[in-house]
Structure formats: structure tokens, C-alpha cells
A and B are shown apart, each in its own frame.
Chain A
Amino acid sequence: MTSTSKIPLKDGIEGFVSDWSSDQRAFKGVPWGKAMMWIFLLSDTFIFSIFLISYMTARWSTVEPWPNTSEVFALTVNGVSVPLLLIAIMTFILITSSGTMAMAVRSGYQKKRRQASALLYLTAILGLSFVGMQAFEWSKLIEEGIRPWDNPFGARQFGSIFFMVTGFHGFHVSVGVIFLFLIARKVQRGDYDTGRRGFFTWQKGRYEIIETMGLYWHFVDLVWVFIFAFFYLW
């Protein structure tokens, strides 16, 4: 694509620097939207890391005992209490949606319009069911008396942190679901083939947007893995 590749790079750190700082683009062949999403996700990583660090600090600073998570998060099926059942299903669904998302990216690049939009819709529906189950989990915990300011099972910080962090993550999932539906609709309508302009931004979109969306979706999934480990298994 460019003649830059023909210029021999120096060895060692000097070559590394001149490669990075070279002409026009630091990341060759990376669309703007994708690069932006990476930087945004780095920034978002800081947000979630700080949430999790605050969670650890709260767990350590509180004087009351932390509730036993395998009891609090248990679901009673046929009179048998199964720990972490709901969460296992939720995690499974979210990780499955990451798979369908990856398949959507692939079909998008192959310009298989129908397949891509179907997979995007499927991803969105899986995401939606995740949010639905989270709502169910929240209402169950609230019924049992757990509140952001109170917790009958032990330290009150448990309720505060749990609702705040899963709420913030659920907000991310919800935003993702909205955008998944929007992009699925655009793909279905063929906007990226006809060059139809966005209603707000007035820009033409391209199939690369599916990959950018995918980055966000996988990130949300990855964050969930950490939340799962720190909240439910610890």
C-alpha cells in the first residue's frame, strides 16, 4: 500500500521508535473507529479496575464479616439450593454471545449481509437475556433485603459495591445491546453497501464497524469474567 515499507528500519530501539512514529499513521491499516475503540477501552479498563480495587479496599476496611457468596447467590431449584446456578447460566450466555459476535464480524467482512445481521440480532438478543437475568438476580437480592445501604447477611458494603459494579457493567451491556440492534438494522438494510449516511453523524459507515462493535462487546464480556471471579467466587 505504501512505499514506507521499503525504507529499511534500524535495529533495536531506534528502529522501533521510527516504525511507531512513521508517516501518517501509527497503526498501519487500522481504521479510525477501531483505533478509537481501543483507546476508549483502555480508558474504560481504568474505570473498571478502579471499581474492583475499591471493592477490594472496601472488603478489607469494613469491620463486619463479608457474606458467604455461595449462599447469597444460590438459587433454590425443587427445594435444593444450588450455588451460583443463575450466574453460571448468565456467564455461559454472555460468552456465547461473544462467539456469535465474532462470527458476525467474519460474515461482515465476507459481505454476507443476511448472515451478519442475523448473527448481530442473535448477539443482541443474548445480551438482552443477560440483562434480563441480571434484573431477575437484582430483584431476588432486593427481596431478600439487600440494599445499597443495608445488608442483612453481613457487611453493608457488599450490597453497595455489588449493585454499583454489576449495575455499571449491566449499563455497558445495555448500551452494547442498543448499538447491536442499530448496527444489525443497518446491516440488514444494506447501509454499508449503499453508502447511506448516518442520521446523526452524516458519515457513511463500513463493515469494519461490526469489528469495532465486536471489540466493545468482547471487552464487556472480559470485564464480566473479572466481576464473576471477584464477586461470586471470592
Chain B
Amino acid sequence: MSESIIPESELEEVELYHPKSWWTEKVFSQDAKLIAIQYGLTAFAIGFVALVLSWFMRIQIAFPEMAIISEGTYYQFITMHGMIMVVYLLTALFLGAFGNYMIPLMVGARDMVFPYLNMISYWTYLISVLVLFVSFFTPGGPTGAGWTLYPPQAILGGTPGQETGIILMLVSLCIFIVGFTMGGLNYVITILQARTRGMTLMRMPLTIWGIFTATVLALFAFPALFVSAVMMLFDKLLMTSFFMPALVEFGENLTYGGGSPILFQHLFWFFGHPEVYIVALPAFGIVSDLISIHARKNIFGFRMMVWAIVGIGALSFIVWAHHMYVSGMNPYFGFFFATTTLIIAVPTALKVYNWILTLWKGNIHLTIPMLFCLGFIVTFLNGGLTGLFLGNVIVDVPLSDTYFVVAHFHMVMGIAPVLVILGAIYHWYPLITGKMLHDGMGRFHFWVTFVGSYLIYFPMHYLGFIGIPRRYYEMGQTEALYTSSAADLNIFITVAALAVGFAQLVFIFNVFWSAKNGQVAEKNPWNATSLEWRTPEQPPIHGNFGKELPVVYRWAYDYSVPGAEDDFIPQDVPNEKVTLAEGYSELGVEKT
């Protein structure tokens, strides 16, 4: 996998901004690594809010007689939980936090190509989070339109938060997209144009491939959300009728007329479906790297993995209407979109096979990151299989808007990516802080999270099959609709959910506790090959690589190479400098 021809550098030296004060060094920093941490902490803070909202909802569903929250509040919590988790937590965390931290380090760059723009990107994101958060304290509260914000109900009377909540939500989304675009351009150009010598695209770790493709998807998918948010804002504020047909409300004719609510659904899902892969593709990439590192084996079918990522990304733009089988669009559309949806299963299944085959006969270390990876594979497989049910029009129709859907997407784009995020944090925490996370707390965290999420979401499939609708504040007295087993199950799910929530508190405690009291990490504690561990200092300082950028001689997956003494060869070590194992004359060639 190594060629000796390394071209001369054709990159200009990046002129890094040297901060002159505490403010420009620690707060308004232009260093991608600090920006990443700022992104991460902000995302976790707002994500924690969404987590707490889910506890209230679970308690309400399990014990409706307690009436812990009102009907309106329930819808508001559902909406905010969904939107925060999908956009403000997962997207920001994968691209803003992991993207910023990992891209320059893994491709061997000193920083992002436009550090100033990168800084502005974070502060814009922070403003969008604050605008969203403020809606909790406005008259009428945050919007309760459901995270899909379907008009006409989203902006009409009767929907909670239609006074100001919906406006703040749409404004916040627009700000988020502006901020993300600035960051996203940085990620794409850094990967395309600022790699170090020898770092071809086909030598990049899959983490970077995942983040890269996801960023491209985001740059092309967010425009749809931006436009639909602008149009809905106009519908709300200027009384235009883009999405609003002629309506009668409380016996009075509204001034709206002639708009198309279905148009919003098309636009929303043209963003919404790529969004699933914006979250999933970085997770795919990261999990591939973690599996390879912790199983001490090269990733199986690297090129196939790259093509699968790119293929999934491309296909994700032509499947959006599978979210709309019951929305009243032309039934022939459903036929087309079911076909494309099922085609996506091919590259996705290919990736799952490759992960399994990487594990096959690997030297598996059951470290915490590895545990999370294994958890991810199983969870993702589960979520993917239920996707086959929902992707087929005829099976989807009875399952639409039931708990089956809730179970499916929480498995596939909730739990699965979150498991990867957690695994990645355990993996890269030594790099970022120089300390190891506490192992015992980590294992407790993993087992409770993993087993707990199954206890939460497996029963939900059953609830869906017996027809329990989602988004209901309480199921009421109707025995026919709501059997006693469903009521018991809901209590069971709530208990599991609270336990999983508690485990996350342990994790948060662990993150802060270990930063101070954790065991000091040795250099490159996992014996990984990729460049982020090859910096002179750990954690890396501003400028990343000291005086000279590393030169890359090989791909990122040279684990257990026959003939090498160590079971890994870092990317910046040429063949001549590899220490040979006894009995070998060169790599892969035994002495005769």
C-alpha cells in the first residue's frame, strides 16, 4: 500500500492567526480544535435540554393520571426534543465538533483553510441555539408543531407556540444554516485542497470520508430547509399563501388561499432525508476506524467502503418522498421512491458486512470504544431491518404514525449514531484532554445505555404493531385501542428510559471528573496509525504538527502487517523505517 513517490509540497504555508489576548486565545479562538470543543459543549448543553424533555414525555405517557405536563406542553416538548436532537445536537456534534477537531489533524493540515470564517461559524451556531432556547420563555412557549413543522397547522391557532415559538424556531433554523454553511465550506475545502504530502483521498481515514460526504450532503440539502423556513415565515408574518390553502378556522374564512401544503412536505423531506445520512455517514466513517483500530486489523474492503459512503450520499437525494406515503401525493411517486429507498439497502448492507468481516478473525480488544462499536452494528442492523418495513408503501401505510416509526428512527438515527459519538469520545478523549476516561464508569455507562436502549425501543415495535399511535398525549380509556399490556409496557419503557438517562449523567460526570483526575494518557494509547496521534504534543497545540507537516506514505489501516514488529505502522512512517520482526527480510517477506 505504499508508493515511494512523494511529490513536493504544493501547499502554501497557512498563516495562522496568533492570538494576542486571553479573549482571542480562549474565547474568540480561530483554532479549529478549540472551536470544535466549543461546538461540542454547546451541542451537548442543548442536547441535555432535549434529553430532559424526553424524561417528562416518558413520565407523562407512562403515568397519564399524574398529568405532569399539559397537552400543549407535551407537543412542545416533542417538537423541541426532535428538532434539537436532529439538528442542534447530532448535526452540530458530528460536523461542527468532530469535523473541526478531526479534519485538520487527520489530513495533516495546520488548521482549517479559513480559520476566521470557522470561528464565525461557531458563534452563528451559538446564536441559533440561543434563539431556539429563548422560545421556552416567550408567551405561548416554543412551537408544538412536531419537528416536521407541517403547515398549515404549524402556524394556525390551536397549535401551541404559534404566537412566537414557531417564528423563533424558523429564524433559528435559518441562522443555523447560515452558520453551518460557513463551517461546511471550510470542511470541504480543507479536505479537498489542504491535505499534506502523500495524503491522497484514497489514503484518508474513513472518518474523514464520512464527514466529507455528510458535509457535501448538508451543503446541498440545507438550502431546501432554508427556503421552506423563509417561505413559512412569510406565511406567518406577511400573510402570504405559499403553503396555505383556503381555510376555515372556528367558522371564519382565513385570508389564506391557493397555497400547497404538500410543497412544504416535499421541501422539508428533500432536506430531511439527506439529514438522516448527514448524521449517519460520519457515524459510519468513525465506526469503521474504531473497529479497525480496536480489532487490530485493516478495514475490510476500504475502497468499497468509500464508494458505499459516496453512493449512499448520492442516493439519499432521491428517496425523500418515502416520508410522504400517506400525505396524499400521487401514488406512482410512492412506487418510485420505494424502489430507490430499497436500493439504498445495498450499499448500507455492504458496509455492515464489511464491519463484520473486519471483526472476523481480528484481535478484538473489548475496550469501551469497541463495545460501543459492537453496540452500534447491532443497533444499526435492527434499525435498518425495520426500515425495510417502512420503505415499502403497502407495509408502511398501516404502520405510519405508530410507535413502530418511533422505534425505527430512534434505533437507526438516534441510538446508533449516539453510540458512535460516545465510542468516539472514549476513543479520542485522551487526544483532546491528555487524560483517560474512567474505565469503570465507562463500562457502566455502556452497558446501561446499550441494554437500556433496547429495553426502550424493542417494546415500541410491538406497540406499533398493535396500532398505538405516536404523538398522543395520553391513550384515553378506550380498551380496544389501548390494551392493558400497552399500558404496562409504557411504564416499563419509561423506567428503562430514566435509567438510560441516569447513565448519561454518569457519563457527563466522568467527562468532567476525568479531565482533572483521570489517569494521564500515554502517547497514542490505542496504537492507532492515523495522523492525529502523530503530533509532537498530546493534546496537539495550535498549528498541530510543529515545524514540519508529516508526509504520508501509506493508508490509515496498516494493522498487524506481516513482518512488522509492532502491530501497527503509522501513516507517516516509510517502509524503510519500519522495524522488522524477527525472521523477516522485508515487510511481508520471510527470510529463507
Which chain A residues have a beta carbon within 8 Å of chain B's beta carbons?
A: 1-4, 7, 17-18, 20-28, 30, 32, 35-36, 39-40, 42-44, 46-47, 50-51, 54, 57-58, 61-64, 148-149, 155-157, 159-161, 164, 168, 200-204
A-B contact pairs, 28 of them (CB 8 A): A2-B7, A3-B7, A21-B200, A21-B201, A23-B6, A23-B198, A24-B195, A24-B196, A25-B192, A26-B193, A32-B189, A39-B188, A39-B189, A39-B219, A40-B185, A46-B224, A47-B227, A50-B228, A62-B258, A62-B259, A149-B238, A157-B241, A157-B242, A160-B241, A160-B242, A164-B230, A168-B230, A201-B116
Q: Which residues of B contact A50 (CB under 8 A)?
A: 223-224, 227-228, 267, 270
Q: Return chain A residues, CB-CB under 8 Å to B240.
A: 148-149, 156-157, 159-160, 164
Q: Which 7 residue pairs are nearest across A and B when measured between Cβ atoms?
A: A21-B201, A62-B258, A160-B240, A46-B223, A61-B260, A149-B239, A47-B223
Closest B residue by C-beta to A159:
B240
**Cross-chain contact A156 with B258 (CB below 8 angstroms):** yes
B510 to chain A, nearest CB (A): 38
Contacts of A47 in B (CB 8 A): 223, 226-227
B578 within 8 A of A: no
Query: Contact: A2 with B114, CB < 8 Å?
Result: no
Known: A1-B10, A164-B230. 5 other contacts (CB 8 A): A39-B188, A50-B224, A58-B260, A157-B258, A203-B116
Q: Are the C-beta atoms of B195 and A61 separated by less than 8 Å?
A: no
List of A residues within 8 angstroms of B196 by Cβ: 24
Cβ 8 A contact of B231, one of A18, A54, A63: A54
A1, A159, A201, most chain B CB atoms within 10 A:
A201
Distance (Å) between the CB of B419 and the closest chain A CB?
30
Known: A26-B201, A149-B255, A157-B259. A39 touches B185 (CB 8 A): yes
Question: Of the candidates A22, A54, A168, which one forms a contact with B200 in the assembled complex, judged by CB atoms under 8 Å apart?
Answer: A22
One of B5, B17, B234, B242 near A3 (C-beta < 8 A): B5
Contact with A along B258-296 (1 / 0, CB 8 A): 111001000100100000000000000000000000000
A46-B220, A50-B227 given; A2·B8 CB < 8 A: yes
B267 touches A32 (CB 8 A): no
What are the residues of chain A within 8 A of B193 when measuring CB–CB?
24-27, 30, 32, 35
Complex Cα distance A40/B257, Å?
A: 35
Q: Smallest distance from the beta carbon of A77 to chain B beta carbons, Å? A: 32
* Interface contact A24-B10, CB-CB below 8 Å: yes
Total contacts A-B at CB 8 Å: 155
Q: Is B194 an interface residue (CB 8 A)?
A: yes
Q: Which residue of B lies closest to A62 (CB)?
A: B258
Cβ-defined contact, B255 with A18, below 8 A: no
Selected from B5, B17, B185, B260, the residue in CB contact (under 8 A) with A202 is B17
| B520 part of interface (Cβ distance < 8 Å) | no
Q: Which of A35, A61, A63 has the most CB of B within 10 A?
A: A61
Closest to A6 in B: B5
Which of A17, A24, A161 gathers the greatest number of chain B CB atoms within 10 Å?
A: A24
A61/B258 in contact, CB under 8 A: yes
Chain A residue contacts of B255, Cβ below 8 A: 149
Chain A's closest residue to B113 (CB) is A32
Interface centre among A3, A43, A160, by most chain B C-beta atoms within 10 angstroms, is: A43
B121 in contact (CB, < 8 A): no
Answer whether residue B541 sits at the interface, using C-beta atoms and an 8 A cutoff: no
Q: For residue B267, which residues in chain A have a CB less than 8 angstroms away from its CB?
A: 50, 54
Q: Which of A30, A32, A40 has the most CB of B within 10 A?
A: A32
A1 contacts across to B, CB distance below 8 A: 10
In whole angstroms, how far apart are the Cα atoms of A64 and B114 in the complex? 49
A207: min CB distance to chain B, Å: 15
Residues of B close to A3: CB separation below 8 A: 5, 7-8
Q: What's the Cα separation between A94 and B96 when bound, in Å? A: 38
What residues of B have a CB within 8 angstroms of the CB of A44 in the complex? 223
Question: Whole-angstrom distance between the alpha carbons of A4 and B6 in the complex?
Answer: 8
Instruction: Judge whether B11 is part of the interface by a CB distance below 8 angstroms.
Output: yes
Q: Does B202 contact A (CB under 8 A)?
A: yes
B181 part of interface (Cβ distance < 8 Å):
yes
Q: Find out whether the CB atom of B188 lies under 8 angstroms from the CB atom of A24.
A: no
* Nearest-Cβ distance from residue B226 to partner chain A, whole angstroms: 6
B7 touches A32 (CB 8 A): no
User: Of A24, A57, A203, which is within 8 A of B7 by CB?
Assistant: A24
Cα distance, A91 to B123, chains bound together (Å): 38
Interchain CB contact under 8 A, A43 and B181: yes
Bound form: Cα–Cα A202–B219 in Å: 26
Give 1 or 0 for each of B175-214: 1 = CB within 8 Å of chain A CB. 0000001001110110011111111111000000000000
